[in-house]
Chains A and B, each alone.
Chain A
Amino acid sequence: MPRRPRDPRLPDAASEGRLDELRERAASAGVVDAPGVRPAGAPMPLANGVAGTAGDGNGASAASGYYGRPLLKEPTWTWEVPLYFFVGGAAGAAAVVGATARAMASDETDLVRDARWVAALGGALSAPLLISDLGRPERFLNMLRVWKPQSPMSVGAWTLTAFGSSAGAAAFADLVGRRAADGDSRLAVPVRVVGDAAGMLAAATGLVMTTYTGVLVGATTIPAWNRSVSVLPIHFAASGLGAAVSLLELLGHDHPALNRLGIAAALAEIGTGVVHELDGDPAHAPLKEGSSGALVRAGGVLSGPVPLLLRLFGARKAAAVAAIAGSLLTRYGWVAAGRISARDPSLPLGLQEPGHHSEGIETP
């Protein structure tokens, strides 16, 4: 009467032994938590694979956070931003160098002129770099909608505006001044006064330009960045100074002051580098490991030890090239490190197992 007669061979004789164990465990526990009888009947070949479960160790726990997913979002910044850090930093430092030269070595008119031009061109280049990074570039003017000293980005926007215009004015005045000198001399004096004033303003804002980006990056939630907030401005300023003097040297200037400044910058870079290499902060792993670590370290070596040695041996042009390359690598390295750092939830979450990386998991 049953629709399908029972197969006399069953239950599967091959598994009886295993079944006995199971019966015992079943009797005690009710559920058997160990593998039971191999499920025969799979027509496809078995794959080797370790079972992980939706709710096991790589699941959600105080040890791994929420399935090891990142807590923080990665910086959205594109390639323009680190380049801007470089350009803006160099331009700011150049303005400072230019202004001091004007004040203390008034005969170095060409150095002053070129320093002013490096500053002016840097300032002019910075704006488009920042704008093209915006999600809505046509709205760049909104950067000047409000004044928010509590936002390094706002401070930077206003500073860049002031710096760009003053540096531009200084350079322009220099140009007009030279025309005036071999032409209508009645203009010479006022132009020089305006130029010097603009130069001074550019230098003042330049000081902010070279340093604020350190605060901008440091005052964020990214562990690799904010744990370095009190070093970054110095690091970036030194990097900018090194780049600025190097640019001027490559433009043909050999004033010893530039060399001294190059050495100073290199020393500062060595200092900040040593600080980073020595601290055991797990947050700084991305600065030492992986691709971002390589970038940062290469940048550090090229901005510190290398130019220092070269300068001691008088190879100023080579040192200049190294310092510029180092400064560029440094900026890219730090931004890259920030991305990696953002993927690791262990620090911001305070997990029991720090360094729990989850680079494999890309949020959709």
Chain B
Amino acid sequence: MPGLGTSFGRGGATTAQQDLANSDAILIMGSSMAENHPVGFQWVMAARERGATVIHVDPRFNRTSAMADLWVPLRAGSDIVFLGGLVRYAIEHGKVFRDYVVPYTNAAVLLKDELRDPEDLDGLFSGWDASELKYDPESWLYRGAAKKSAGGDVAGHEAEQGGHAKERGGHRDEGDQAQPEQPQERDDTLGHPRCVYQVTRRHFARYTSEMVERACGVPAAQFVRVAEAFCSASGPERTGAICYAVGWTQHSVGVQIIRTAAILQLLLGNVGRPGGGILALRGHASIQGSTDIPTLFDILPGYLSMPLFEKESDSLASYVRKYQTETGWWHNYDKYIVSLLKAWYGEEATAENEFGFGWLPRVDGDHSHQGYWLDMAAGKLEGLFVIGQNPAVGAPNGRLERKALAQLKWLVVRDLVEVETASFWYDSPEVERGELRPDEIATEVFLMPAAGHAEKDGTFTNTQRLLQWHEKAVDPPGDCRSETWFAYHLGRRLQERVRASKRRRDQPLQAMTWDYPVEGADREPVVEAVAREIHGRKPSDGELVSGFTELAADGSTACGCWIYSGLYAGGINRPRQRAARGAYAHGWGWAWPSDRRILYNRCSARPDGAPWSERKKLVWWDDAAGEWTGLDVVDFAKTKRPDYKPKPDAKGDDAIAGDQPFIMHPDGLGWIWVASGLKDGPLPTHYEPLESPVSNPLYGLQTNPAAQPKERPDNAYAPTGDPRYPHVLTTYRLTEHHTAGGMSRTLPHLAELQPELFAEISPELAAEAGIANGDWVTIATPRAMVEARALVTARMKPLVIDGRLVHQVGLPYHWGPRGIARGDVANDLVAISEEPNVRIMEAKALVCSLAPGRRPRGAGVLRQLEEIAAMRPRDETPLARQIAGEDSPPA
């Protein structure tokens, strides 16, 4: 979550679900928390019953809206205008918590004179390279920051660099790009026209309530009610929290939407305080864990960067120099990468061979899901492992994704049931349409039964960074096995083959430590042994380290994931602990880092170390004891005095003053302004979704210039305002199902609750299109056509956008051709596209057509799509005229 990472320093939710009960206002946006996190939502209900105001902003009135005090609909994809409006409201209506903002954020920092804002360049910041289609962020840097050194042959934003590394925030990842480091030029009066505060104020000056009404369709008066309600949850006595999910992230501006929320929370002084913060609601049991210990292409465990194919990777030293910061926590970068290499290559990792750094593969392209999938479609990949995911239903442009599978030599799918990804070769829509023929598909498919959560030991990391151990209750049935079993025994087999090899390519495999103890008839690796390796130990005597503070860069420590170092502190399996103590349930599971439940909680005390108020106290400075104390583990050096002032030459955490709470950042501040680390600007700017019914009401620039639409014939887009696709389409989940359905459509008790794909449409749209509740409707985009049952409901509201009526269509995406409850694949409608920072697709805001009746069978769908694609508004065919809206429809 670079949105959070760049703003605060860590890419994780800043708070815990239970802490929502302490909020005075909760803004839920980009999420239907009651539907998708019902049990977590009990804490929102607790707050509501205590008198907190619950606000839900969502295109649909859904189960969360039904629990909220305030609901306003907005046009999917206009979130930054709405949130920018809140930022402006906070600034212009004196809602900013100055006593917090001045010391704890970079609001007072002065910026360079050459900086230009989208206000000046009609949507662009200064530094845009029109030929490379990317920014050079030099003009965004703090005033006085070092100039970019010569000879950096790598431009500021390598295409290779993925976004997850940005979750570190503030690290050097821009070539030799200098970083905002202390000291800076400041104006604590916030009056200087070039200080971050004033620049931000000017940037959002046109995000008025009238603009919100025009762009989002939210009546200005209603917007003001929301703004007043949320912005009042600020100051010493009150706090407000924001909850979001993929309703924010799955946009071509996803990271910047979250950034806007971060800016708002910083201005209101709501970060690091009880009842405040930003709660990212993740959708899978361990999705936080799968970025902490990433099965991702661009990062290594603990958000260390994968080495890129560039000169900085030629030596460990230059690689470290690129990512290590002079000041702030990332000064320890070398300790973490070396300890990781020691954990992976053990004995073979020595100072002489740079601890095996040279064995790590270098990233030389976009190897994200969508990036390599397009290579797969081009026949450039041979093999694919799909483990516990179902891209045939869950991924955008399913047609393209499924057809790409047929280009593989081999495919291994591991899951609890036969998911659509494994059966693509005989029962995918492409087979029905004759695009794929089983006897022409060369792909060798291995479908392997996986073990379930009660059939294996292990930890999940939940949405609030809490690691919880789940105990094995029974052996998995039949040939079902855990992934540790699969990885271990596959690795064992492969290591066998290279025992005697002298080839360079085999050295990493030879060196890889793979000596895990096994148990039971299935020879299941002992999971606790893996957990110990993740926690870290001293290779010399095998002793466990106490935590990441003990890690060293000299090879004397080995640690599989530095942020998880501590989960086995004292030889105790902390995630397995089940004795909750105190307000923040310490003793139940273990939260990274260092069991801190609320991040940046130094903010909960005033600069002088005293709580802002009795009501909102969390941690505070105990002068007698000479340490920080309170209800949570302080996210700060425990004995660093509030009045501590670093020496000029101080490095690392010593360079962070006693009143600078964001210790991961080189300047210890919360970043309203992100000088470096984001590809699409230091401040959030509204761009229309890649597909939109209207033109950008704020700038001449229609869409995010840095986003990658990956436009191609089989991934086509509708032009702005295309009359063939007049409605806004948004996708979402339902309580009764889980993501691509492999864990829900197959269960009778869940399938019966939501048995069919349906589309939620307003009575107004239904009347226009001649659709009755329960009818079949067909929804089309330039990529695909799906049929669904109409759920005509007044919970869907047509909105007036820029003067024209815009209808929105809601489509849950759980169904597929298999399972008990079956239906068309909604994600087939979505385009493959990449948000510039994390390469996420835009699934939450696109355009579609809607018509009564079922879609054609078989190849008819393709013919239909081609017909529509062939239509030019000026064509004179009757159908084209009707499509161009010039014909009145048959009565």
Contact = CB atoms under 8 A, between A and B. Distances in A.
Q: Do A and B come from one complex?
A: yes
Nearest to A28: B219
Contact of A3 (B128, B703, B805, B890): B703
B883 A54 contact: no
Contact of B873 (A9, A34, A37, A38): A9
A4 to B, nearest CB: 5
Interface in A22-77: 22-23, 26, 30-56
Interface in B750-769: 763-769
A293 B634 CA distance: 79
A107 interface: no
B803 A22 contact: yes
A165 to B, nearest CB: 48
A361 B148 CA distance: 73
A33 B873 contact: no
Contact of A44 (B702, B767, B778, B798): B778
A26 B702 CA distance: 24
Contacts of A30: 213, 218-219, 221-222, 800
A10 interface: yes
Contact of B705 (A1, A10, A51): A1
Contacts of B585: none
Interface in A1-28: 1-7, 9-12, 14-15, 19, 22-23, 26
Contact of B807 (A22, A36, A40, A42): A36
Contacts of B770: 46-49, 51
Nearest to B690: A3
A53 B797 CA distance: 13
Given A3-B690, A4-B703, A12-B885, A36 B798 contact: yes
Nearest to B848: A41
A44 B873 CA distance: 17
Contacts of A52: 772-774, 792
Interface string B450-469: 00000000000000000000
Contacts of B793: 53-55
Given A7-B720, A31-B797, A43 B764 contact: no
A49 B852 contact: yes
A280 B327 CA distance: 91
Contacts of A1: 124, 128, 130, 701, 705
A10 B773 CA distance: 31
B852 A44 contact: yes
Interface string B97-132: 000000000000000000000000000100010100
A32 B798 contact: yes
Interface in A293-321: none
Interface residues of A, number: 44
A44 B770 CA distance: 12
Given A51-B792, A53-B792, A54-B792, A7 B722 contact: yes
B720 A56 contact: no
Contacts of A4: 690, 702-703, 717, 719-720
Contacts of B700: 2
A41 B891 CA distance: 16
B769 A39 contact: yes
Contact of A22 (B717, B804, B850, B884): B804
Interface string B182-207: 00000000000000000000000000
Grouping DSSP codes into helix (H, G, I), strand (E, B) and loop, the A interface class, with mixed when no group exceeds half, is loop
Contacts of A37: 726, 804-805, 885
B769 A23 contact: no
Given A7-B721, A40-B724, A55-B793, A14 B769 contact: no
Given A43-B883, A46-B890, A2 B701 contact: yes
A290 B702 CA distance: 64
B736 interface: no
A32 B720 contact: no
B764 A34 contact: yes
Interface string B853-870: 100000000001001100
Nearest to B855: A44
A74 to B, nearest CB: 21
Contacts of B780: 43
B885 A15 contact: yes
B765 to A, nearest CB: 7
A36 B764 contact: yes
Contacts of A55: 793-795
Interface in B718-747: 719-727
B886 interface: yes
Contacts of B213: 30
A42 B695 CA distance: 22
Nearest to A40: B885
A32 B805 CA distance: 8
Interface in A94-117: none
Nearest to A34: B764
A47 B849 CA distance: 15
Contacts of A33: 764
A11 B772 contact: no
B245 interface: no
A35 B884 contact: no
Nearest to A49: B772
B556 interface: no
Nearest to B802: A11
A54 B849 contact: no
B767 A51 contact: yes
Interface in B664-720: 690, 694-695, 700-703, 705, 707, 709, 711, 717, 719-720
Contacts of A19: 803-805
Contacts of B807: 36, 39
A42 B851 contact: yes
- Residue among A3, A9, A22, A43 with most chain B CB within 10 A: A3
- Residue among A4, A9, A56 with most chain B CB within 10 A: A4
A33 to B, nearest CB: 7
A12 B873 CA distance: 10
Contacts of B850: 39, 42
Contacts of B57: none
A42 B799 CA distance: 20
A348 B849 CA distance: 45
A50 B772 CA distance: 5
A31 B808 CA distance: 13
Contacts of A40: 723-724, 726, 882-886
B726 A56 contact: no
A31 B219 contact: yes
Interface string B804-837: 1101000000000000000000000000000000
A213 B773 CA distance: 44
A72 to B, nearest CB: 23
A341 B805 CA distance: 46
- Residue among A7, A15, A34, A53 with most chain B CB within 10 A: A53
B720 A10 contact: yes
B771 A6 contact: no
B395 interface: no
B723 A41 contact: yes
Contacts of B765: 39
Contacts of A51: 763, 766-767, 770-773, 792
Contacts of A36: 764, 768, 798, 804-805, 807
Interface in B380-419: none
A43 B782 CA distance: 12
B879 interface: yes
7 closest residue pairs by CB, A with B:
A36-B805, A40-B885, A30-B219, A42-B851, A51-B766, A10-B721, A26-B800
Given A30-B219, A45-B851, A53-B763, 6 more contacts: A11-B694, A35-B767, A40-B885, A43-B867, A53-B792, A54-B792
29 contacts: A3-B690, A3-B711, A4-B703, A6-B695, A6-B721, A9-B873, A10-B721, A14-B884, A14-B886, A15-B885, A19-B805, A22-B800, A30-B222, A30-B800, A31-B799, A35-B764, A36-B798, A37-B726, A38-B889, A39-B727, A39-B807, A41-B722, A42-B769, A43-B883, A47-B775, A47-B853, A51-B792, A54-B773, A54-B791
